[in-house]
Amino acid sequence: MMGPAHSLSGAAAWLVAGAVAAAAGHPMPWPTLVVGALICAGAALAPDLDHKAATISRAFGPFSRALCGIIDGIAHAAYKATRKKGDPRRSGGHRTLTHTWLWAAFLGCGCSAAAVFGGCWAVLGILFVHMVLAVEGLLWRQARVSSDVLVWLLGASSAWVLADALDDPGNGKDWLFTQPGQHYMWIGMPIVLGALVHCLGDALTVSGCPILWPIPVGRKRWYPVGPPKFMRFRAGSWVEVKVLTPVFFVLGGASALGALGVIG
């Protein structure tokens, strides 16, 4: 899928999680719901950091371009080192290491640990990166014509405002993990969810997604998970724009109302 569909599916997934949490007796305060949805929308672009042309690789100028090169190299090396006989040879790392459940878990745990031990600057940093990505993903066309600096300013200011909203007592920093010293521990959850939703979205497209790695399937360790061939579509096709996008909107909207206790 392309950037906007990935981001929208990420936001919708967190809103669904909010509705489920409310039904399970752990309703999210509104800042947790809103910030989580935006983080998840941004995190749903993150796996494509292994591709030069992807939104995330262009989002932070030379810094993200350099990081993209490093990640692509690591992913390609991991592919070559762990491929079994059934895995085809390949020339780059796109859709390998960063498109697995293990990578999602690694990023989520890393960000939770950073938020818990790193204090407010770590939280602001995580928010800044994901807000910039959310703006790039959700306002795709608009963000493309405006300058990078403008998007960064928007990301920084929204990170600042949202971190402030979360920080007030009862407003979400201690959602789900309520013990002292566990503030912001939940912040890794939308990051894991966003990465997994990205992988599922890619799995629906023609090439599939090796989400299970390193668990082998038959003669392949990088087994491309996906539905039967006739159910798959090309990235950016009409299915994505005309069918999936409206579905994500309706699903997200209904879930948000459920999460906030308006319906349900």
Interacting residues with Zn ion (CB under 5 A):
47-48, 202
In the bound state with Zn ion, the residue whose beta carbon lies nearer, of 204 and 260, is: 204
In the bound state with Zn ion, the residue whose beta carbon lies nearer, of 9 and 32, is: 9
Smallest distance, Zn ion to C-beta of residue 54, A: 7
161 contacts: CB under 8 Å, gap ≥ 6: none
CA–CA dist 174, 30 (Å, integer): 13
Smallest distance, Zn ion to C-beta of residue 39, A: 18
CA–CA dist 174, 177 (Å, integer): 6
142 contacts: CB under 8 Å, gap ≥ 6: none
Smallest distance, Zn ion to C-beta of residue 68, A: 13
In the bound state with Zn ion, the residue whose beta carbon lies nearer, of 12 and 195, is: 195
| Residue count of the chain | 264
Q: In 10 A of CB 29, how many CB atoms?
A: 18
Smallest distance, Zn ion to C-beta of residue 101, A: 14
Q: Among candidates 150, 149, 142, 190, which has minimal Cα distance to 17?
A: 190
Check: CB of residue 93 under 8 Å from CB of residue 74. yes
- End-to-end, the C-alpha distance of the chain in Å comes to 31
In the bound state with Zn ion, the residue whose beta carbon lies nearer, of 198 and 221, is: 198
Q: What is the DSSP string of 130-198?
A: HHHHHHHHHTHHHHHHS-HHHHHHHHHHHHHHHHHHHHSTTSSTTSS--STT-TTGGGHHHHHHHHHHH
In the bound state with Zn ion, the residue whose beta carbon lies nearer, of 41 and 124, is: 41
Smallest distance, Zn ion to C-beta of residue 94, A: 8
Distances (CA, A) of 71 to 41, 46, 133: 21, 11, 18
In the bound state with Zn ion, the residue whose beta carbon lies nearer, of 133 and 163, is: 133
- Name the 3-class secondary structure at 123: helix
In the bound state with Zn ion, the residue whose beta carbon lies nearer, of 21 and 44, is: 44
Smallest distance, Zn ion to C-beta of residue 111, A: 19
Smallest distance, Zn ion to C-beta of residue 75, A: 12
